[in-house]
Homo-oligomer: A and B are copies of this chain.
Amino acid sequence: MPRKVDHNERRAAIANVVEKLVFERGIEALTIRDVAKELGYSTTIVSHYFSSKLEMLLFTHQTSRSRAEKTLREAIDEETDLLECLEVLLPISKERWRDWHTWFAFWGMAPEDPSVSDEWRTGTSEANMLFARLVQRAQAKGQISMDVDARAAATEIQIYINGIASLVAQDRKSWPADRQKDLLRHLLSARLLAAAPPACPVSG
């Protein structure tokens, strides 16, 4: 068992450095040599844990995604309000911004590679399922109409969050945390949340 734990810990440590270097220097500049250097390893040691750069990047993406999913699951378990659950995913902190950078970078990898497209599909479908759970819980609380299809609503939520993150990614200074949260609230209120229905004309 100790060896197994050590193996996983080393892989996690490597993934952490990969994320850091991709953030600091860009995915196009990443080399296994730089990763090894940063950790004080030889490239041979890194190659012992990952058979290729692609595998190393895939694992980094999985790690970053699992971390965000865990945060979201915990928020769901703690019965946190829908909007607050979703806000934790926005790039409003240094850590979450780094996660988003990893995800966007990863979406620039080769789509024809099956291991890449499998991980993409798993990520988006996992997010959709978690959001659908959130919607169903909000429906049970009367915050969202029972007429709403939970999976379709989850897809809309993915669009709002990924869309906001894409704008932040391109112009961080223009998007302080409050602007991101306000816009998410605005989009959700108008479409999903029964508590704040869209303004309706008095006549007609």
Contacts and interface: CB of A to CB of B under 8 A. Distances in A.
B30 A28 contact: yes
A6 interface: no
A160 B161 CA distance: 10
Interface residues of A, number: 54
Nearest to A27: B108
Contact of A172 (B102, B111, B172): B111
A107 B163 contact: no
Contact of A26 (B26, B116, B163, B169): B116
Given A28-B57, A107-B108, A166 B162 contact: yes
A120 B171 contact: yes
A13 B60 CA distance: 33
A82 interface: no
A25 interface: yes
A190 interface: yes
A39 interface: no
A187 B187 CA distance: 10
Question: Which of A54, A111, A160 has the most chain B CB within a 10 Å cutoff?
Answer: A111
Contacts of A66: none
A57 B28 CA distance: 9
Interface in A28-80: 28-30, 53-54, 57
23 contacts: A23-B111, A26-B109, A28-B54, A28-B57, A101-B108, A101-B111, A104-B104, A105-B107, A120-B169, A121-B171, A155-B167, A159-B159, A159-B163, A159-B166, A159-B167, A159-B183, A162-B166, A162-B167, A163-B166, A191-B191, A197-B200, A198-B198, A200-B201
Interface of A: 22-30, 53-54, 57, 101-102, 104-113, 116-117, 120-121, 123-125, 155-156, 158-164, 166-167, 169-172, 183, 187, 190-191, 197-198, 200-201
